[in-house]
Structure 1
Amino acid sequence: MPRPRLPKLIATDLDGTLVRSDDTVSAYTHQVLDRVKAAGVPVVGATGRGPRLRELSQRDLPHADYLVLGGGSHVVDLRGSDSPVTVHDQRLEGPVAAALLDDLSAEVGPLLVMVEGLDHQYAPLWGDLDPDWPWPQRVVAMPRTESLAGPVIKAFARAVDLTSDELLAVAQQVIPPEKASVTQAGLGFVEICPPGADKAAGLAVVVEVLGIDPAEVLVFGDMPNDIPMFGWAGWGAVAMSNAHPSVLTLANEVTLSNDEDGVAVYLDRLFS
């Protein structure tokens, strides 16, 4: 059976997908998403950014009906006129994360670890001060036992002598999926998240509320943390031309890069 001409929901990653390398979203992209919303199709931002970056994510994607944050562990309903409503919030127990990091370190050597533990706007990360951390948000030096004393949103881990892909391959062997979900989002770190938390799981929360079948969902992405939603969305999974090789392999289609407004170009054609 041919798929419907238009999807019933569109979900897009932000960094490296909708957002350009200069951290902006073009006027053209906003205009196209205005047309998508005018056509009655809900838009969801699906990002690895934690809930502490909700306001930034809303500014980048003001058209969003929902935000799937933290790589799928936190889902926010933005449809109301009042404050956003959290409809899903899953945390990873800190002592569990600490034990998993010890297991991973036993395989690869010392790890540099930062913890995302707070969800208020622009809250700092905790842990090791990493000179290569690419974002402006603060990192507060804190012993690992203290930063992982309670539930956390995720932990970032980096091994000095391994690429993020190499570390991820080891982490996927060492860390049981029932203990934590592991991925990487192009930041140079492996991300250790709550078990079962990924973008597909976050989007599943949204479509259940809206009564939409995953077969009617179109998604856009560029990094390994987008892979779960590529396998879940049935209408189509579109990779950016700048995407990670593993994402390009799984995509139904490839659009232009994020710096060439690839999401907007694809949707402009689809909704014309």
Structure 2
Amino acid sequence: MAKPGLPKLIATDLDGTLVRSDDTVSAYTHEVLERVRAAGIRIVAATGRGPRLAELVRTDIRAADFLVLAQGGWVIDQNEGQLLRSTWLPGRDLALVLQSLEAEVGPLSVMVEALEHHDAPLWGDFDPTWRYPVVIEPRTRAECTTGGVIKAFARSFEHDVDDLLAAARRIVPPQVASVTQAGLNYVEICPPGVDKGTGLAVVTEAVGVDPADVLVFGDMPNDLPMFAWAGWGRVAVANAHPELLAVADEVTLPNDDDGVAVYLDKLLSR
């Protein structure tokens, strides 16, 4: 059982929040997370990374009991080795979303994540500005939208990502697709009803934890749904997007200064 006065479950974003700018997680952070888990508090990784990057997620947050991947569309129970949620966006719906967006903002560079196996390639338009190592398999828009996808990435040649997200929020019906952005200069297009809040709800329902007992950490607009959902506390790192800082209960140190671990260390020491 979790200690009285502490959350029963902690969920943290990875890139820009737990993971530092050099793509590493400090030994101090790993040690603090192990102490959190030893205190009886479940730990969840809540990330935009898709299932193709599950092994990297496990490396970055070794203490995690659950993985909430692909902005909430895929949920894995680490202890039981079970897939609790897997969602797909029909290709025809993605094609309509892209068509509607391009009618408003002009041409888009698009990549799709359609395969869940380890280190699977992305399909679509090669983008030299993509900051992470990835294999991009060139495919036409029609080929990318033939079948279902886990999610899609769309970048505008003329508009800032926040402006593109604002347009997508206005244009894309929520019953067709969910839209967000995670700091990669891309808007991410996911299946309807998919976000980190609904992904975490799958976890808490499985383990019998109330959202009021959940503490979350994040840095970007894709973390807004879990900030709205969690009740124990919502903590942004100091380097967070203004939208997240505006709704955070507290602000901790930046990711490069191990802000999540520093906050949790103090929490355990109360």
TM more than 0.5:
yes
5 Å-filtered alignment, 1:4-83, equals 5-80=5-80
Q: Which residue of 2 aligns with 1:184?
A: 181
Q: Which amino acid aligns with 1:103?
A: S
Q: Which residue of 1 aligns with 2:146?
A: 149
Structure-1 separation of matches of 2:63 and 2:145: 35
Structure-2 separation of matches of 1:263 and 1:202: 21
Structure-2 separation of matches of 1:236 and 1:40: 18
Q: Which residue of 2 aligns with 1:215?
A: 212
- The offset of 1:5, in angstroms, is 2.1
Structure-2 separation of matches of 1:41 and 1:162: 42
Q: Which residue of 2 aligns with 1:134?
A: 131
Q: Which residue of 1 aligns with 2:103?
A: 106
Structure-1 separation of matches of 2:133 and 2:225: 28
- The SS at the match of 1:92 is coil
Structure-1 separation of matches of 2:109 and 2:42: 39
- The SS at the match of 1:132 is coil
Structure-2 separation of matches of 1:233 and 1:34: 22
Structure-2 separation of matches of 1:170 and 1:194: 18
- The SS at the match of 2:246 is helix
| 1:171 aligned onto 2:168 | yes
Structure-1 separation of matches of 2:233 and 2:248: 8
Structure-1 separation of matches of 2:56 and 2:115: 16
Structure-2 separation of matches of 1:163 and 1:124: 26
Q: Which amino acid aligns with 1:95?
A: R
- The SS at the match of 2:85 is strand
Q: Which amino acid aligns with 2:237?
A: M
Q: Which amino acid aligns with 1:46?
A: A
Q: Which residue of 1 aligns with 2:120?
A: 123
Structure-2 separation of matches of 1:16 and 1:138: 22
- The offset of 1:135, in angstroms, is 1.2
- The offset of 1:130, in angstroms, is 1.1
Q: Which amino acid aligns with 1:171?
A: A
- The offset of 1:193, in angstroms, is 0.3
Q: Which residue of 2 aligns with 1:160?
A: 157
Number of residues of Structure 1 aligned to a counterpart in Structure 2: 266
Structure-2 separation of matches of 1:53 and 1:86: 15
Structure-2 separation of matches of 1:143 and 1:19: 33
* Structure 2 unpaired stretches of 5+: none
Q: Which amino acid aligns with 1:174?
A: I
- The offset of 1:86, in angstroms, is 0.8
Structure-1 separation of matches of 2:127 and 2:199: 29
5 Å-filtered alignment, 1:254-265, equals 254-265=251-262
Runs of 4+ in structure 1 over 6 Å off: none
Q: Which residue of 2 aligns with 1:233?
A: 230
1:120-151 per-position Cα deviation (integer Å, ceiling 9, x unaligned): 00100000111211111111100111111111
Structure-2 separation of matches of 1:163 and 1:119: 29
1:5-63 per-position Cα deviation (integer Å, ceiling 9, x unaligned): 20000000000000000111000001111110110100000000000000000000010
- The SS at the match of 2:6 is coil
- Taking structure 1 as the reference length, what is the TM-score of the superposition? 0.97
Structure-1 separation of matches of 2:268 and 2:55: 28
Structure-1 separation of matches of 2:166 and 2:227: 19
| 1:244 aligned onto 2:241 | yes
Q: Which amino acid aligns with 2:172?
A: I
Q: Which amino acid aligns with 1:130?
A: D
* Structure 1 unpaired stretches of 5+: none
Q: Which amino acid aligns with 2:197?
A: A
